[in-house]
Copies of this chain bind each other. A is one copy, B any other.
Amino acid sequence: MQKKYLIDEERIPRRWYNIAPDFPEPPAPALHPGTGQPVGPDDLAGLFPMGLIAQEASMERYIDIPDEVREIYRIWRPTPLIRADRLERALGLRDDQRIFFKYEGVSPSGSHKSNTAVPQAYYNREAGVKRLATETGAGQWGSALSMACQIFGLDLTVYMVKVSYQQKPYRRVLMELNGAHVYASPTAHTETGRKALQDDPDTNGSLGLAISEAVEDVVGHPGSKYALGSVLNHVLLHQTVIGEEALEQVGAADAYPDVVIGCVGGGSSFAGIAFPFMRETLAGKAKTRFVGVEPTACPSLTKGVFTYDFGDVGQTTPLLKMYTLGHDFMPAGIHAGGLRYHAMGPLISHAYHLGMMEAVAVPQTKVFAAAQMFMQNEGILPAPESAHAILAAIDEALAAKAAGEARTILFNLTGHGYLDLGAYEQFLAGKLEDYDHPEAAIKAAMEHVPSA
């Protein structure tokens, strides 16, 4: 039985896939918080270079990947599609109950984040930008962008969510090896940061807060731009290289998926693997279910409200139509830092609203147990974020087994967990907590969302 499905580097996709024009109804535009009108390119020009702004609003189905970006993609792409045959046997599955995963942990940052970090740095360099500022949660985005900035000669400042900064010191070292400047957010460098520290000096920080700090950092600083690792349309777009490769690989494996599974924080890795398969389903070429997996501690799809909200705590971003828990919802300090975001990217939110996908929320102790089982069988230690998808894939497989049904499952293994061993240590020591009931915190945060 073949385990790994590899493709040659000339098969790295030449185009990103933009799902926006293929939706049965168009997604709602981003709004200017002052005017309530859809934002135009000029409204975003302070934050992003025009190359990315054009992608953000594009209604073209395909966007060419620049040669220079594809050249860098060769460092780790195409990534392997792997059959989890040892996990299948451990679960006692039948031959027609199959689990495949696309493994993005082979990139320089150890996660899918490099797929968008490289083009973002590229378009900024093309626009003459000298310096980027960004936020990072678990540190995967920051690591990815630090490598990309180093390649394209950009200076980088990273606001790293404090709880992750403390839990994952090695992520900071990785960024510093690439020359980045890294600070624990909230910092005293920004107004938003100072206010947050005043309110609660011991705050864990959050992605929403760190975003505010990075945005505040660049506004009004010529030569500086902002970069975001998820949520926005152009970020999701860049990640579709994952699904395009996977489509070719499941063809080689004769294993078109009945269900595609991914973890969801801001939604970019999920979009990356799912959107190309959704295109096939929308075109009537396939019938596939799509499942986004989120933490019970931060359940934006399963418990959030679909409405306009800010992307950040400081209310500095445009208003986006999203499933949100409220822009000042502060998630508990779970170890899947990359999933600690109060809302869900607009394109994912739109797909969920249209019934094109399902969502499920899972607690972290079960996630880590699934991760250990996966590692013992497949020899890869997953990032806690990625392990959310593993748990859901195992649940899907066991449901198929119980029903006696054939099922082919594909999930996105977004990254490795070799920099998350502190979290695994706590898991082994029985010290992980679950945070299953954030309803009161959601209700309080939603009261600050004007449109709700």
Question: When A107-B379, A379-B76 are in contact, do A173 and B3 touch as well, CB less than 8 Å?
Answer: no
CB neighbours (8 Å) of A339 from chain B are none
Q: Which of A293-301, A404-412, A414-422 is found at the contact surface with chain B? A: A414-422
CB neighbours (8 Å) of A416 from chain B are 418
Chain A positions 300 through 342: 1 when the CB is less than 8 Å from some CB of chain B, otherwise 0: 0000000000000000000000000000000000000000000
Specify which of A106, A173, A174, A428 lies most central, judged by the most chain B CB atoms within 10 Å of its CB.
A173
Q: For the complex, is A443 an interface residue (Cβ under 8 Å from B)?
A: no
Q: Complex: how many Å from CA A74 to CA B110?
A: 21
- In the complex, the answer to whether A422 meets B3 with C-beta atoms within 8 Å is no
- In the complex, the answer to whether A428 meets B176 with C-beta atoms within 8 Å is yes
CB neighbours (8 Å) of A428 from chain B are 173, 176-177
Q: For the complex, is A69 an interface residue (Cβ under 8 Å from B)?
A: no
Q: For the complex, is A2 an interface residue (Cβ under 8 Å from B)?
A: yes
The residues in A between 357 and 395 inclusive whose CB is less than 8 angstroms from any CB of B are: 372, 375-376, 378-381
CB neighbours (8 Å) of A147 from chain B are 376, 379
Q: Which of B6, B150, B372, B419 contacts A6 (CB 8 A)?
A: B6
Q: For the complex, is A4 an interface residue (Cβ under 8 Å from B)?
A: yes
- In the complex, the answer to whether B379 meets A177 with C-beta atoms within 8 Å is no
- In the complex, the answer to whether B376 meets A421 with C-beta atoms within 8 Å is no
- In the complex, the answer to whether B375 meets A177 with C-beta atoms within 8 Å is yes
CB neighbours (8 Å) of A151 from chain B are 376
Q: Which of B86, B114, B170, B178 contacts A418 (CB 8 A)?
A: B170
- In the complex, the answer to whether A421 meets B379 with C-beta atoms within 8 Å is no
Number of residues in A with C-beta < 8 Å to the partner?
40
Q: For the complex, is A22 an interface residue (Cβ under 8 Å from B)?
A: no
Q: For the complex, is A59 an interface residue (Cβ under 8 Å from B)?
A: no
Question: When A177-B375, A424-B177 are in contact, do A418 and B110 touch as well, CB less than 8 Å?
Answer: yes
Q: Which of B76, B173, B379, B421 contacts A425 (CB 8 A)?
A: B173
Q: For the complex, is A75 an interface residue (Cβ under 8 Å from B)?
A: yes
Chain A positions 74 through 106: 1 when the CB is less than 8 Å from some CB of chain B, otherwise 0: 111000000000100000000000000000001
- In the complex, the answer to whether A150 meets B376 with C-beta atoms within 8 Å is yes
**Nearest CB of B to A155, in Å:** 15
**Nearest CB of B to A430, in Å:** 13
The residues in A between 130 and 155 inclusive whose CB is less than 8 angstroms from any CB of B are: 147, 150-151
Which 8 pairs across A and B sit closest by C-beta, in order of nearness? A108-B379, A170-B421, A418-B418, A75-B379, A173-B421, A173-B425, A3-B74, A6-B6
Given A170-B425, A177-B375, 19 other A-B contacts at CB below 8 A? Answer: A2-B9, A3-B74, A6-B8, A76-B379, A108-B379, A108-B380, A110-B418, A114-B379, A147-B376, A169-B425, A173-B422, A173-B425, A173-B428, A174-B421, A177-B372, A177-B376, A177-B424, A178-B375, A418-B419
24 chain-A/chain-B pairs, Cβ below 8 angstroms: A3-B74, A3-B75, A4-B9, A75-B86, A75-B378, A75-B379, A106-B106, A107-B379, A108-B379, A108-B380, A147-B376, A150-B376, A151-B376, A169-B425, A170-B418, A170-B421, A173-B422, A173-B424, A174-B381, A176-B428, A177-B372, A178-B375, A418-B419, A419-B421
